[in-house]
Amino acid sequence: MHPNHRHMTAAAEDPDEALARRLEVARMSGVPVAPLAEWAEVAKRRGYGIARIVEPDRDLVPGVVVETDLGAWAVHETPGHAPSHVCLHQAQRRILISGDHLLGRVSLYFDYGWTPDPIGEFLDSLDAVQRLDARLCLAGHARTFTDVAAHVEANRALVHERLARVRRVVEQRGPLTAYDIVPLLYGEPIAPLTASWWMQETLCYLRHLEVTGVLARDGGEPERWAAAGAPAA
């Protein structure tokens, strides 16, 4: 694994603390008390699902080469989906093992709170993968595909579309909490199956727009977002 795997091992080492951290992020993001308490109970009953932590034998970092019968595979850091994400590239055959960075379908997910700007990292990783000029991609989910450049562009386009939508919603209707923004971004109410996923993704968009100077949070409880420089409500 890539050594930056704290986003996984921290929760396995102390599940209660990890849950408390997620609940605090959700509370600060405006999630109402009742559904938050219900989600917490479900999460406690479900458990984390990892029996014990097995530390990697080898760090997968740039410069590492994995030798196989198909030849050598080079490691490329591709954070964004997760801080520890890497892709493997076989240059002679132009094959990419993309993990969750590129999928057979366009489906975005980002780990929130472990790095300064997951969205910025993901866009940089798309650029890095595009430069490899792979002709065949073996993804972590869904089908194998050959139109790698088209998948890169489709992911990039969807990220920019959602960033623009978040910015527009906040500038037109803010100040808003992240919880307020989610249904306006996705066009449907938050549901138990989508709440965690959509909240994390939305928080990552907000963070990117904060880092780039477009939006700002007010520091209240819960936090509300507005255009940078806008007067407080």
DSSP secondary structure string, 53-109?
----SS---TT-EEEETTEEEEEEE--SS-TT-EEEEETTTTEEEEETTS-SS----
DSSP, collapsed to helix, strand or coil, labels residue 134 as coil
pLDDT in tens, 100-155: 999 999 999 999 999 999 999 999 999 999 999 999 999 998 889 999 999 999 99
| Proportion of the chain above pLDDT 70, given as a percent | 99
pLDDT in tens, 187-206: 999 988 898 899 999 999 99
Taking alpha carbons only, the member of 68, 73, 67, 154 closest to residue 108 is 154
Which tokens in the block code for residue 69? Answer: 């019968």
Q: What is the pTM of this model?
A: 0.94
pLDDT value, residue 231: 64
| Proportion of the chain above pLDDT 90, given as a percent | 78
pLDDT in tens, 105-116: 999 999 999 999
Domains and CATH numbers, the chain: 61-233 (3.60.15.10)
**Higher model confidence: residue 41 or residue 127?**
127
Rounded Cα distance between 155 and 124, Å, is: 12
Residue 8 — very low, low, confident or very high, per pLDDT cuts 50/70/90?
Answer: confident
